């Protein structure tokens, strides 16, 4: 019936180089095996190399069973209860609640909480699709503000007061929603400024820290700890387990009331099979490693600094990111795909990120760094990147040798 329309939509995607296809991938440490060929992996989110650690790989398979039901029927296992308590304690929140995926958590939270049609959801323009979907499904109005632009955010807060002819103290429910570290740009939200605006305008805050947890802050507590923000000033904190924690699933943290409300009203929570107990145990094990293994974070930070240094020596613009996500923006879809394909031929696995995931004209290579990689891997990546973009790798290497050899030697020895 609709085959012709679907075929046409797919053909259009092919035409503008935005067609997506899947590859069967088997990641292992810094490598990924694709169709029997091994590549250096610069595309995964295993920022701390936890997913491939032998302690995770040799997890106790006695727990290998499903949860056999939703959490409110019979699926809430002691492993879930223990993990929730561990996370709440680690991150400094009253309570925590597990979801099977970050997408289901985000898309459900805003819809479930923002039920007042006079309410307002203010979303950073670069927020993840799951937050945008949640906002659109909520009864409250969703408005986006320019990325990390506090002036733009305040303007929207003021406009809302004017529109409803109210003052700061009796404004309708307003929630500011941001990521801690942005998934396609790798930059961080200015949390102290967001928190001060929220206080000033009596707004709440929801933070998605999918890419900050594990990577930043003491013991990997994430963006709040890294920016010295008291968890009590964030109403809803959400993080996923599928990035630095090396597992999968997600957690929502906040007050006892928030969590009780979600248990009672979140349709994604109530009507979905709970994550498997095995998954909860694996995640708990991985979180202990994240907390204890400071060396993973230190190695990742060294890799980030070294990679940015190499890029700058090769004449690339700064990526604007100090996180594990390092975007190299190329612009057009076709060129970005071509560069990604050329890198694949050199044994480097990278994905070309194209609209609508990112803005039109800002197609990019989303390079992800990990503590599993070594400096020689980064040397190879940047030289291949420079070659693919017609910068001369010889220049890259000689510039590095003459300009900053001592700094690199220090980093290598540290």
Ligand X SMILES: Cc1ncc(COP(=O)(O)O)c(C=O)c1O
Site for ligand X, residues 347 to 406, rule: CB under 6 A? none
Please tell me the distance from the alpha carbon of residue 313 to that of residue 375, in angstroms, as a whole number.
15
In whole angstroms, the minimum distance from the beta carbon of 119 to ligand X comes to 22
In whole angstroms, the minimum distance from the beta carbon of 220 to ligand X comes to 17
DSSP 254-271: E-HHHHHHHHHH-HHHHT
How far the first Cα of the chain sits from its last, in Å, is 63
Helix (H/G/I), strand (E/B), else coil: 321: coil
The answer to the question of residue 293 lying near ligand X (CB under 6 A) is no
The answer to whether residue 183 is catalytic is: yes
The nearer residue to ligand X, 40 or 324, going by C-beta atoms, is 324
In whole angstroms, the minimum distance from the beta carbon of 179 to ligand X comes to 5
Q: Strand 120-124 vs strand 141-145: parallel, antiparallel, or unpaired?
A: parallel
Q: Strand 120-124 vs strand 174-179: parallel, antiparallel, or unpaired?
A: parallel
Adjacency order of strands within the sheet including 325-331: 325-331, 363-368, 352-353
In whole angstroms, the minimum distance from the beta carbon of 397 to ligand X comes to 34
In whole angstroms, the minimum distance from the beta carbon of 327 to ligand X comes to 13
Burial class of residue 366, CB neighbours in 10 A (0-12, 13-18, 19+): buried
Lookup: tokens for 325: 């996500």
Q: Strand 204-208 vs strand 236-240: parallel, antiparallel, or unpaired?
A: parallel
Stretch of 100-108, 163-171, 269-277, 335-343 contacting ligand X, by CB under 6 A: 100-108
Alpha carbon of residue 147 to chain centroid:
16
- Assess whether the previous peptide bond of 356 is cis (omega < 30° from 0): yes
The answer to whether residue 243 is catalytic is: yes
Pick the catalytic residue: 160, 183, 195, 268? 183
Pick the catalytic residue: 84, 179, 377, 379? 179
The answer to the question of residue 242 lying near ligand X (CB under 6 A) is yes
The answer to the question of residue 141 lying near ligand X (CB under 6 A) is no
Pick the catalytic residue: 77, 111, 156, 243? 243
In whole angstroms, the minimum distance from the beta carbon of 165 to ligand X comes to 35
The answer to the question of residue 250 lying near ligand X (CB under 6 A) is yes
The answer to whether residue 414 is catalytic is: no
Pick the catalytic residue: 95, 128, 281, 299? 128
Site string for ligand X, 222-241 (x = CB under 6 A): ------------------x-
# chain residues binding ligand X, by CB under 6 A: 13
- Residue found by looking up tokens 């939270």 in the block: 109
Q: Is residue 91 a contact partner of residue 237, using CB atoms and an 8 Å limit?
A: yes
The answer to whether residue 80 is catalytic is: no
The answer to whether residue 179 is catalytic is: yes
Q: Which of 43, 130, 160, 178 binds ligand X (CB under 6 A)?
A: 130
Stretch of 25-33, 95-103, 155-163, 351-359 contacting ligand X, by CB under 6 A: 95-103
The answer to whether residue 208 is catalytic is: yes
Q: Which residues contact 355 (CB under 8 A, 6 or more apart)?
A: 18, 333, 361, 362, 363
Active site residues: 45, 128, 179, 183, 208, 211, 243
Q: Which residues are at the interface with ligand X (CB under 6 A)?
A: 101-103, 106, 128, 130, 179, 183, 208, 210, 240, 242, 250
């Amino acid at each position: 019936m609709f085959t012709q329309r679907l075929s046409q939509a797919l053909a259009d995607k092919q035409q503008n180089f935005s067609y997506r296809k899947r590859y069967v991938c088997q990641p292992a440490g810094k490598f990924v095996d694709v169709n029997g060929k091994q590549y250096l992996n610069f595309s995964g989110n295993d920022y701390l190399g936890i997913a491939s650690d032998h302690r995770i790989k040799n997890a106790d398979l006695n727990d290998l069973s499903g949860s056999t039901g939703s959490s409110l029927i019979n699926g809430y296992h002691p492993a879930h209860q223990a993990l929730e308590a561990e996370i709440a304690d680690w991150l400094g929140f009253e309570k925590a609640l597990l979801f099977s995926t970050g997408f289901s958590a985000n898309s459900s939270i805003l819809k479930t909480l923002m039920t007042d049609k006079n309410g307002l959801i203010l979303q950073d323009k670069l927020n993840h699709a799951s937050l945008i979907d949640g906002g659109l499904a909520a009864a409250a109005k969703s408005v986006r503000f320019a990325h990390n632009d506090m002036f733009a955010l305040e303007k929207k807060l003021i406009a809302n007061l004017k529109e409803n002819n109210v003052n700061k103290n009796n404004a309708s429910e307003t929630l500011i929603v941001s990521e801690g570290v942005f998934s396609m740009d790798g930059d961080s939200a200015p949390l102290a400024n967001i928190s001060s605006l929220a206080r000033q305008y009596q707004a709440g805050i929801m933070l998605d820290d999918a890419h900050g947890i594990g990577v930043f802050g003491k013991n990997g507590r994430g963006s709040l700890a890294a920016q010295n923000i008291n968890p009590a000033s964030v109403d809803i904190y959400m993080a996923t387990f599928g990035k630095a924690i090396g597992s999968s699933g997600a957690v929502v943290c906040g007050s006892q009331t928030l969590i009780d409300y979600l248990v009672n009203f979140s349709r994604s929570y109530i009507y979905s099979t709970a994550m498997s107990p095995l998954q909860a145990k694996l995640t708990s094990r991985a979180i202990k490693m994240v907390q204890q293994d400071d060396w993973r974070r230190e190695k990742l930070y060294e890799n980030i600094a070294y990679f940015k240094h190499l890029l700058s020596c090769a004449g690339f613009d700064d990526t604007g990111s100090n996180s594990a996500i390092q975007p190299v923006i190329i612009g057009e879809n076709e060129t970005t795909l071509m560069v990604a394909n050329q890198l694949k031929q050199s044994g480097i696995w990278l994905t070309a990120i194209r609209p609508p995931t990112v803005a039109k004209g800002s197609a990019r290579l989303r390079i992800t760094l990990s503590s599993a990689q070594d400096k020689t891997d980064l040397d190879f990546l940047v030289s291949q990147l420079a070659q693919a973009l017609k910068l001369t790798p010889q220049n890259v290497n000689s510039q590095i040798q003459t300009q900053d050899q001592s700094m690199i030697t220090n980093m290598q020895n540290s």
